[in-house]
Structure 1
């Protein structure tokens, strides 16, 4: 049970990191204009 909870939390953290990386990429593209 605890392991399932831990896995879910890790998955959510990875999703947040990916979203932040995508936002940073978009910011870089804005800077190029």
Structure 2
């Protein structure tokens, strides 16, 4: 159960990071363009 909880948290963090990273990069790219 501990491993499953850790994996879920890690997955959520990864999803949040990937969702926040592209958003900021796309915004910066749009501004640059």
Name the TM-score, length of structure 2 as normaliser: 0.75
Structural RMSD (CA) = 0.9
Deviation digits for residues 1-33 of structure 1, max 9, x if unmatched? Answer: 11000000000000000011111221132024x
Matches within 5 A, 1:1-33: 1-32=2-33
Which portions of structure 1, spanning 4 or more consecutive aligned residues, are displaced by more than 3 angstroms? none
Consecutive unaligned residues of structure 1, counting only runs of 5 or more, are none
Consecutive unaligned residues of structure 2, counting only runs of 5 or more, are none
Name the TM-score, length of structure 1 as normaliser: 0.75
